[in-house]
Amino acid sequence: MSYAIIATWRMALEGIEEGVKLLKDNGSSADAIEKAVKMVEDFPYYKSVGYGGLPNENGEVELDAAFMDGDSLSIGAVAGIKDFKNPISIARKLSEQKFNCFLVGAGAEEYAHKNGFERKNMLTDRAIIHYKNRLKETVEKGLSPYDGHDTVGMVALDNSDSMASGTSTSGLFMKKRGRTGDSAVSGSGFYVDSEIGGATATGLGEDIMKGCSSYEIVRLMKEGYTPQQAADKAVSELNDLLIKRRKKAGDISVVCINNKGEFGVATNIENFSFVIATDKIEPIVYVCKNKN
């Protein structure tokens, strides 16, 4: 019996601490993921997830989230959803369906409403100030409007050997209305199979989707690579490929665990923080550095 949970970015720490309490108590990986991601979504100061997330170029907060159950391989996802409090819970509910499990925009909102999910204006005053400052800076300093984004992505293993994964993000800052990235897309932003392991990604969705990074890591683990080897190989090969074909690679960071609770992490950016907890490690934040 062993448990493990891993997540992208320091912002996941408090959520992971709560998720670990459930896992220690023989709770399910699915419940731990939902609980932990919800905590990140609810915290108003994280600018890239849930309440307080930064808006798109029209000043609207459009959120993406996904949930995957590693036993049944069920997937649920929402993209571009507005004015609902916990997209991860909507995604989890959708994962129970055989059909219509990935809904976008108005369709996702209608589903959430009909299924009793809580409505909330997710745009905070703080996010409006950031948005206005950023607009000004972008024009005055000639910055890329797309330089602000993070996703909380998690993978968990529970004491019954079941695994689950979840993601949640407001996506790329200043994105076009309707734009979605990897976080809602199975195989790119997340993937988990309880018989092998799971992975999740954060960074520039447009590039992560070119490598189907999360599925690639799980595939490599199935071939016998350790989680660390699989994470390193998936990130470095995609990074090199994009540089070769396009001269430039966007940010790509990944975390993964296998079904024994061993973990791996890799990035092509300078500093990528992640949170890990296992039955042997209390929740802790590490920083992974680019190996290239």
Number of Cβ atoms within 10 Å of the Cβ of 33: 32
52 binds ligand SD4 (CB under 6 A): no
Nearest distance from residue 47's CB to ligand SD4, in Å? 11
Residues 182-211 touching ligand SD4, rule: CB under 6 A, are: 182-183, 202-205
**Active-site residue flag, 124:** no
Query: What single letter denotes the amino acid at residue 58?
Result: N
Q: Among the options 124, 138, 151, 226, which is catalytic?
A: 151
- Residue among 27 and 181 whose Cβ is closer to ligand SD4: 181
The β-bridge relationship of strands 152-157 and 163-169 is antiparallel
Question: What is the b/e burial string over 189-200, where b = at least 16 CB atoms within 10 angstroms of the residue's CB?
Answer: bbbbbbebbbbb
Sign of the dihedral defined by the CA atoms of residues 252, 187, 110, 107, in that order: positive
169 binds ligand SD4 (CB under 6 A): yes
56 binds ligand SD4 (CB under 6 A): no
Asked whether the beta carbons of 156 and 19 are under 8 A apart, the reply is yes
- How many whole angstroms separate alpha carbon 287 and alpha carbon 270? 10
* DSSP codes of every residue in 233-263: HHHHHHHHHHHHHHS----EEEEEEETTS-E
- Residue among 76 and 80 whose Cβ is closer to ligand SD4: 80
- Residue among 3 and 190 whose Cβ is closer to ligand SD4: 190
- Residue among 158 and 182 whose Cβ is closer to ligand SD4: 182
Convert residues 129-168 into a mask of x (bound to ligand SD4 by CB under 6 A) and - (unbound): --------------------xxx-----------------
Residues designated as active site: 151
Q: Report the interface residues with ligand SD4, using CB under 6 A.
A: 149-151, 169, 171-172, 181-183, 202-205
